[in-house]
Structure 1
Amino acid sequence: MIKSGDEIRQAYLDFFESKGHLVMDSAPLIPKNDPSLLWINAGMAPFKPYFDGSLEPPKKRIATSQKCIRTNDIENVGKTARHHTYFEMLGNFSFGDYFKEEAITWAWEFVTEVLELDQDKLWITIYREDEEAFKIWHDQVGLPEERIVRMGKKENFWQIGTGPCGPCSEIHYDRGVEAGDSKEDVLGGEGDRYLEIWNLVFTQYNYTEAGEYKELPNKNIDTGMGLERVASILQETETNFETDLIKPIIDQVVEMTGIPYQQDQESVTAYRVIADHIRSASVAISDGALPSNEGRGYVIRRLIRRAARYGRKLGFKEPFLYKLVEKTAEIVKGVAPDLKKQLAHVKNVLKSEEESFLKTLEQGLNILEEMLAELEAENKEVLAGKDAFRLYDTYGFPLDLTEDIAAEAGIKVDEDGFEKEMEAQRKRAREAREETSFSSGEVEKLYAEFKAQIEEDNFTGYHSLKEKTKVVGLLKDKQKVEKLGKGENGEIILAKTPFYAESGGQIGDKGVIKSDNFEAEVKDTIKKADVFVHQVEVNRGELKPGSAVEAVVYHNRRLATARHHSATHLLHKALKEVLGEHVNQSGSLVAPDRLRFDFTHFSALTAEEIDEIERKVNQAVMKNYSVQTEIKDIDEAKKMGATALFGEKYGEEVRVVKMGNYSLELCGGTHVDATGDIGAFKIVSESGIAAGVRRIEAVTGEYALDYFNSKLDLLNKTAAKLKTEPDNLLQRVKQLQKEQKNLEKDLEALKQKLAGSKKDDLIDQLQEVEGVNLLTAELDGLDNSALRNLNDQLKDKIDSAVIVLASKGENKVIFVASVTDDLIKKGFKAGDIISKVARIAGGGGGGRPDMAQAGGSKPEKTAEALAEVEKIVREIEG
């Protein structure tokens, strides 16, 4: 009997393959060419262009097991039985082929005959007006009428705004009254008794701006079955978290902590959050996502931080999430095989991010303590919701942790204010999603209308930079127009073109489109719905659809771009040779004047490594390898050993670019004929751009020559300024450094002497407060060392005293405090005093009872801070 997650997935794909479906691999979690989505969040998401007709599917029947991420209800993850951020969606799709009858009967056949679910426990919901679906379930499948429940639009009709939509039918499994008997345990409810396992969406209408539902000429099927849910039924587990798709991760964490999984509700939640979030983060990182402060990077960062916070509840004080990656890779290998290949990279990203967060956590604690101190000073008892939310949003501080720490200081947290801030953020996120939900599809559809008029293999730019062709379409402001005239900006679509459209990091070509009576400059070339779009400014004449024109690419610009693109291939290979096979491209920019190459690696490159990489690339250039391109079947290309760009989705046929016996990559860009054409290669910078991602910027050809000349010019000017020859520049700099060091020593000695001269004047300022000698003073121009030295001298001269000195600098103030031994015995401690004083000046610090120092960021509050010392003395003596 089928039980394991891997068995269920394979059985599903095999079943639909037997029904004539093309089984495709899961798409990466990062959407390709779809700015409306942060993540692939449903089985149908990668196929949106097929559903709206802007692209032709490889087959009209497709089946997949799609990895998905949804984070709209992240706060419920770990607290409920079935909420996840990462899950697997089994789906079968029809693009204008079969419809309701096949979708319904095949679904019933699969769940009852393949999965062998008890028919008596299966319930069906349909849209209340969908008589066709009812008849199929009742008359053909044979379900009794009472087991087919009609529901309203909210439950059983799929629609988002205008556009394609339609009714849906859901299959539910009754887990029995023992699973739940509350008012929520009804079909479509939030209880645990009736479990929705499969949703069949019948896309048959187009909802118009006028509010009409018009029948679509080509009807589609979109289904989604949750793998984790089906696994929980077949494995007879209480929740999804006990299935073989998640529980092994929980078991590993239990082994690490020694705390039983179900010791209490707090431990249950912690284990579930960690297991869920490590699946999301690991697979997303292996698909090319990286933690950052915006977009999907922020989602990954939040997941890692949330898991780390719950790890602290289980006693973890050091990074631990990276230790769970191997177990996760084993569990998801059937849908995310790349994770196993990327183990080292994913572990490094997780470990680095968690280490960074633990430091951030300490920073958040310091800020919270400052907030509480200010409230205490103002005799306030409530921390504002907006402040609690700032801690949560910026530093990953959970509300319950803020409340616990505040309670220790007798402070309450404004929970209502926190929730208002949280809801405002959710609203902003919802509005952002709504604004972009259909814009991408509508734009793609606009350009797709021209596809039929474009010649097959319409890009001729690999072999020629000129092409006689004709105009098939004109656009202005995203609207089709019948002409473009002098001075206008618009877009031209040609039957065939030599212009390369921006793709794979390579920017689009520029040039001219012209005829006897017309000329337009091509400012950029982009691709929409597989259509090459020339963005132009008309210089003379007028152009109409159907006109014959000549398209001419700027030759020097294309050649310079090709040099940089070919250099990225050599660079990629050299990086792997010098740093290791874990290096993978994670982004690039190829332009005429430079290249930018982002790659996975976890430490800054040494000067020696940069030199070695540069040397290897230039060696490959000088060997003048022939650059050859071939069109190959994807499997054949991989067997050849061609490097595929990580996370990129390829078709059945791919273009292989070979550079001698050195580099072999899949690439659609333009290249030089031989590596010697690159001329020279020079790395101009290396930097980190995210956790585990480095960036190299480099130049080739004439731009490399310009770079060398500019550096030589700078060298000559610097040597002249320092009155020496370029060959003696290093020695001259060393001499100046030595002179500077001697001057600094002299200056330090003068400062110490100046401080010493003030000693007697300061002793005269000694005052008595509640029987305690107190000296506070503000001095100008002293650094830490001079201030400490002066404090020590004063302490040696005064038998009994509390001494606090301050010195202001630009945008900061430093404090030094000391207490004599006799007063320490009375309860005076320099560390405690300096901490309270510095807090007033926007800082903090501490030290020993006899000596302490601190800093502050508000020098304007120095006098107020020093005045606090007298109050502290009175409190202790009082």
Structure 2
Amino acid sequence: MHKYYGLNELREMFLTFFESKGHLRLPSFPLVPENDPSLLLINAGMAPMKPWFKGEEEPPRKRVCTCQKCIRTGDIENIGHTARHGTYFEMLGNFSFGDYFKHDAIQWTWEFLTDPKWVGLEADRLYPSVYLEDDEAFNIWRDVVGIPEDRIYRMGKEDNFWEHGSGPCGPCSEVYYDRGEAFGCGSPDCKPGCDCDRYMEVWNNVFTQFDNDGEGHYTELAQKNIDTGMGLERLAVVCQNVNSLFDVDTVMNITNKVSDITGAHYGDSEASDVSLRIITDHIRSATFMICDGVLPSNEGRGYVLRRLLRRAARHGKLLGVNEPFLYQIIDTVIHENEGEYKDLRQKQDYITKVIRTEEENFAKTIDGGMKIFSELLAEHKAKGETQFAGSDAFKLYDTYGFPVDLTEEMVRDEGMTLDRAGFDQEMEAQRVRARKAREALGDLGWSGVEFGKEVPATVFDGYAQTTLTGAKVLAIVAEDTLVDEIIPGVEAIVVLDRTTFYAEMGGQVADHGTLAKSGPEGGLFQVTDVQKNKGGKYMHYGKLTQGSLKVGDVVTTAVDPVRRAAIMRAHTATHLLDKALRTVLGDHVHQAGSLVEPDRLRFDFTHFSALTAEELAQVSAMVNEAILEGYDVVTEELPIEQAKKKGAIALFGEKYGDVVRVVDMGEGYSVEFCGGTHLSNTAKVGVFHVSSEFSVASGVRRIEATTGKLSLEVMNRNQELLFEAAAAMKAKPGELREKAKAAMAEIKQLHQVIEKFEAEASLGQARQFLMAAKDVGELKVLTAHRPGMDGNALRQMGDFLRDKEPNVVAVLASTNEEKITFLAVCGKQAIAKGIKAGDLVKSVCALCGGKGGGKPDSAMGGGKDPLKLDDALASVDDFVAVKLGL
């Protein structure tokens, strides 16, 4: 029998083994891919190394080994229901970039798995497989390692050949471990490759030796590579002789924590076991994803995270936990993994806060959504339907924020299916409506005009200057038509061969100014906006105010220098703000949008909660300190790889060319990709002032701020208001806070005195009402109309009447601005005789054209027709008499 090893021991053993074979041990790459838009999340050990495999970049060494964090969500519906599926897992890998190949890879596989110094698995329970045409690998297993031919399995392309479209590819050689008949399917044909759980794949050598041209033609690669993948959890299953990856030591310890919180334990029932596995798997994934910078959102990897957390939260509810609990498991997840991933502990508070915030937000969503879901489900079942309508799923999603994936899962739990096509159709209809709504708002007009290839792209010469002599008019558009000439008063678009006007891009607004034509005819075109079309033409929007302008004319461009300077102040401050937010809040902060206007900026960024007053003060102080430091602002064009090595920050999702413009403030203080215009020194920003900070979407915050002259105007106005307030309070500005506190305390005290007086007066009136109550059977029935009384006062009076007289039935009414508020109360004896306040208030409200409802002892409602008030109150006696059978 082989030796037991813990998961963490196996990870270290593997990496140590391949270090002894000359491999460079690298830490796991982040789960968020770097510069790889083809992947949402890292899903394999080799994925971050694509540039090294393709020869696009030089690897740090020809031999590398890693333990890579991975996320796969393609089979999320199966997680918890099977022993094989998980979203988060670790992939052990040894890699060769043009160094060793099949011979060494296969020998080291066998050595690590069977040598007692290492894992020491039983050799007679291991079965290699090779691609059916790969005689080389077959011969190495047979002749070098010494495996009998009948224990080496040849398999087809589907199992043992790795390729992904065109490009590098090659055969595989896997190793299976026989776990015994107890895990088998019972078939006499059961063997490696069977779908049952008996033969578990523990190793996969990929021999990248061919290039596929995409049409089925394979040629030998000059540089042959080794890409080895081995699931760490799978190896632990074998070494610990447990049933599934959920039973591995580090994973089971997390499940035990889930059990402590939920009270559910493994083996209680199949349903609770599924929930325990889902919660365990998803909280592991979420912890690692957040640590690597992913935040819950409604798209991309953020949606993957949100889906996992919400699915786990729902299964907590199925186990009877109705309050946020996932955040309590994080410490256990970190404890089991911090030996290898030390940043987990460093970011524990942050991870906990993100998950707890998402849980609390989802709790509000699911409570409302579950009620609606239950009602819709009941309607479908009442009709004998087995399919949940896509339109209903869309209603849950659009109106109540209920994720369609969760709806689909709950529908499946009820033995029904979801009309996903119907849901998708509703989603597309919504997109069409949104697109039409945007079109209805209008755009800048004429921007859809095709200028043709004969009109070249405009050259922008506006970084270092605001004026340019000798720009040529290439095209003019007026009234949606290309024209040769325009006269004064005509609105038009003018396209130039060169310009100093910055077109609206990257959140920065366009320059304003003039295009002036000299000579006897002259001409002055006022530019009020500039847009850049897909063909690279700068379209100057505006109106000709004098002279004439025609195609072929030469003009002088003159950007408004005051407006340009104010825009640059705001734009430079935006970069400083980005730097400050990352420093104060953490590296998870990413720009999610911006707007740069003259001395005003709006900056959207990823963050999970509102900034505290202290955090906001830190951010503001850091920006202003950078302004006072007077950092030089240097812009340069660099090859993109050189820019990245310099530490330049790129906008996620943006596409960049081979050469990029980099803005460096303070020799590395803030380095970002940016095509906008900037100041030459941060000191020219002037004063940076935060106006507001608030949420614009889930996981996205917004800061609005001012710079330069606008900040000075705000400060002067605030100071003026301060002096005015101080004068009104008859205090000096420095005394204003204490004076205001004292005044508010006095006002609060006066309010309490007034409320007490009003309450006593109301109770006095209530006593008078009781004295005038009518006897209906054994009950005391009274009605009263109190104009102008608010709801709280009505409730106080009603509570007194109900508690004072157990046999009372009372309806109180208040009128205010053509509206009626009713309160009905019933004492204990009245309720015992079948009189309920909820029923009574509904009856009274209906007579006045309104609605109401509530509990048996107290209920409220409203009415719309004051002329019917007397009739409504008069009906109370009859209502009680009928209920009593009098």
How does the TM-score come out when normalised to structure 1?
0.63
Q: Cα offset for 1:358?
A: 2.7
Q: Which amino acid aligns with 1:41?
A: N
Aligned twin of 1:56? 57
Supply the distance in 2 between the matched residues of 1:293 and 1:303 (Cα, whole angstroms).
12
Structure of greater Rg = 2
Alignment map for 1:15-26 (pairs within 5 Å): 15-26=17-28
Alignment of 1:614 onto 2:617:
no
Aligned twin of 1:86? 88
* Aligned mate of 1:75, from 65, 77, 80: 77
Deviations 1:561-612 (A, max 9, x none): 88667646754776699xx676863436577643626365744433x76456
Q: Which amino acid aligns with 1:9?
A: R
Alignment map for 1:648-727 (pairs within 5 Å): 659=666, 674-688=681-695, 694-701=701-708
Q: Cα offset for 1:173?
A: 0.9
* Aligned mate of 2:343, from 338, 354, 361: 338
Q: Is the 8 A contact 1:349 1:691 kept in 2?
A: no
Alignment of 1:138 onto 2:145:
no
Alignment of 1:281 onto 2:267:
no
Aligned twin of 2:316? 311
Q: Cα offset for 1:83?
A: 1.5
Q: Cα offset for 1:332?
A: 2.5
Supply the distance in 2 between the matched residues of 1:561 and 1:63 (Cα, whole angstroms).
50
Aligned twin of 1:826? 833
Q: Cα offset for 1:346?
A: 0.5
* Aligned mate of 1:232, from 230, 234, 237: 237
Alignment of 1:269 onto 2:274:
yes
Q: Cα offset for 1:354?
A: 1.7
Aligned twin of 1:151? 155
Alignment of 1:329 onto 2:328:
no
Q: Cα offset for 1:29?
A: 1.5
* Aligned mate of 1:419, from 414, 417, 424: 417
Aligned twin of 1:452? none
Q: Which amino acid aligns with 1:214?
A: H
- Residues 285 and 465 of structure 1, relative CA distance in 2, 3 Å threshold: farther
Supply the distance in 2 between the matched residues of 1:297 and 1:808 (Cα, whole angstroms).
51
Q: Cα offset for 1:301?
A: 2.0
Q: Is the 8 A contact 2:262 2:319 kept in 1?
A: yes
Supply the distance in 2 between the matched residues of 1:285 and 1:600 (Cα, whole angstroms).
11
Q: Cα offset for 1:852?
A: 1.1
Q: Which amino acid aligns with 1:846?
A: G
Q: Cα offset for 1:174?
A: 0.8
Partner secondary structure for residue 34 of structure 2: coil
Alignment of 1:223 onto 2:221:
no
Q: Cα offset for 1:674?
A: 4.9
Deviations 1:381-410 (A, max 9, x none): 76962357976995469779978xxxxxxx
Supply the distance in 2 between the matched residues of 1:423 and 1:205 (Cα, whole angstroms).
39
- Residues 566 and 808 of structure 1, relative CA distance in 2, 3 Å threshold: same
Q: Is the 8 A contact 2:295 2:608 kept in 1?
A: no
How does the TM-score come out when normalised to structure 2?
0.63
Deviations 1:546-575 (A, max 9, x none): xxxxxxx99999988886676467547766
Alignment of 1:598 onto 2:605:
yes
Aligned twin of 1:762? none
Supply the distance in 2 between the matched residues of 1:428 and 1:146 (Cα, whole angstroms).
57
Partner secondary structure for residue 357 of structure 1: helix
Aligned twin of 2:109? 107
- Residues 800 and 282 of structure 1, relative CA distance in 2, 3 Å threshold: same
Aligned twin of 1:126? 130
Deviations 1:510-539 (A, max 9, x none): 9xxxxxxxxxx99889xxxxxxx9956699
Q: Cα offset for 1:166?
A: 3.8
* Aligned mate of 1:173, from 149, 173, 177: 177
Partner secondary structure for residue 142 of structure 2: helix
Supply the distance in 2 between the matched residues of 1:307 and 1:331 (Cα, whole angstroms).
20
Q: Cα offset for 1:331?
A: 2.3
Q: Cα offset for 1:41?
A: 1.4
Alignment of 1:41 onto 2:49:
no
Q: Cα offset for 1:91?
A: 2.3
Aligned twin of 2:388? 385
Supply the distance in 2 between the matched residues of 1:67 and 1:292 (Cα, whole angstroms).
21
Supply the distance in 2 between the matched residues of 1:787 and 1:203 (Cα, whole angstroms).
85
Supply the distance in 2 between the matched residues of 1:95 and 1:872 (Cα, whole angstroms).
91
- Residues 242 and 32 of structure 1, relative CA distance in 2, 3 Å threshold: same
Supply the distance in 2 between the matched residues of 1:275 and 1:340 (Cα, whole angstroms).
19
Partner secondary structure for residue 45 of structure 2: coil
Supply the distance in 2 between the matched residues of 1:44 and 1:556 (Cα, whole angstroms).
53
Q: Which has the higher contact order (CA 8 A, sep 6+)?
A: 1
* Aligned mate of 1:846, from 854, 857, 879: 854
Q: Cα offset for 1:147?
A: 1.7
- Counting aligned pairs with the same residue, the percent is 42
Q: Is the 8 A contact 1:288 1:586 kept in 2?
A: no
Q: Is the 8 A contact 1:830 1:852 kept in 2?
A: yes
Once the two structures are overlaid, the 10-residue window that deviates more, 274-283 or 318-327, is 318-327
Supply the distance in 2 between the matched residues of 1:92 and 1:71 (Cα, whole angstroms).
24
- Residues 143 and 35 of structure 1, relative CA distance in 2, 3 Å threshold: same
Supply the distance in 2 between the matched residues of 1:116 and 1:813 (Cα, whole angstroms).
84
- Residues 180 and 665 of structure 1, relative CA distance in 2, 3 Å threshold: farther
Alignment of 1:253 onto 2:258:
yes
- Residues 369 and 426 of structure 1, relative CA distance in 2, 3 Å threshold: closer
- Residues 696 and 508 of structure 1, relative CA distance in 2, 3 Å threshold: closer
Aligned twin of 1:214? 217
Alignment map for 1:549-568 (pairs within 5 Å): 567=573
Aligned twin of 1:354? 359
Name stretches of at least 5 consecutive residues in structure 2 with no aligned partner: 428-460, 467-501, 512-528, 541-549, 552-558, 637-646, 654-661, 726-732, 759-764, 766-775, 864-874
Q: Cα offset for 1:234?
A: 1.9
Partner secondary structure for residue 30 of structure 1: coil
Alignment of 1:300 onto 2:305:
yes
Q: Which amino acid aligns with 1:149?
A: Y
Supply the distance in 2 between the matched residues of 1:133 and 1:643 (Cα, whole angstroms).
45
Supply the distance in 1 between the matched residues of 2:109 and 2:285 (Cα, whole angstroms).
28
Q: Which amino acid aligns with 1:351?
A: R
Q: Which amino acid aligns with 1:58?
A: P
Supply the distance in 1 between the matched residues of 2:652 and 2:6 (Cα, whole angstroms).
28
Alignment map for 1:4-19 (pairs within 5 Å): 4-19=6-21
Partner secondary structure for residue 694 of structure 2: strand
Name stretches of at least 5 consecutive residues in structure 1 with no aligned partner: 404-412, 430-460, 467-499, 511-520, 526-532, 542-552, 631-641, 649-654, 720-726, 750-755, 757-767, 857-866
- Residues 589 and 314 of structure 1, relative CA distance in 2, 3 Å threshold: closer
Deviations 1:621-647 (A, max 9, x none): 2343678999xxxxxxxxxxx999999
- Residues 284 and 645 of structure 1, relative CA distance in 2, 3 Å threshold: farther
Supply the distance in 1 between the matched residues of 2:825 and 2:128 (Cα, whole angstroms).
79
Once the two structures are overlaid, the 10-residue window that deviates more, 587-596 or 119-128, is 587-596
Supply the distance in 2 between the matched residues of 1:78 and 1:152 (Cα, whole angstroms).
30
Q: Is the 8 A contact 1:179 1:193 kept in 2?
A: yes
Q: Which amino acid aligns with 1:292?
A: S
Supply the distance in 2 between the matched residues of 1:47 and 1:73 (Cα, whole angstroms).
25
Supply the distance in 1 between the matched residues of 2:92 and 2:49 (Cα, whole angstroms).
14
Supply the distance in 2 between the matched residues of 1:342 and 1:294 (Cα, whole angstroms).
24
Q: Which amino acid aligns with 2:350?
A: H
Q: Is the 8 A contact 2:604 2:702 kept in 1?
A: yes
Supply the distance in 1 between the matched residues of 2:844 and 2:6 (Cα, whole angstroms).
63
Supply the distance in 1 between the matched residues of 2:401 and 2:531 (Cα, whole angstroms).
41
Supply the distance in 2 between the matched residues of 1:197 and 1:365 (Cα, whole angstroms).
42
Aligned twin of 2:210? 204
Q: Is the 8 A contact 1:522 1:535 kept in 2?
A: no
Q: Cα offset for 1:685?
A: 2.5
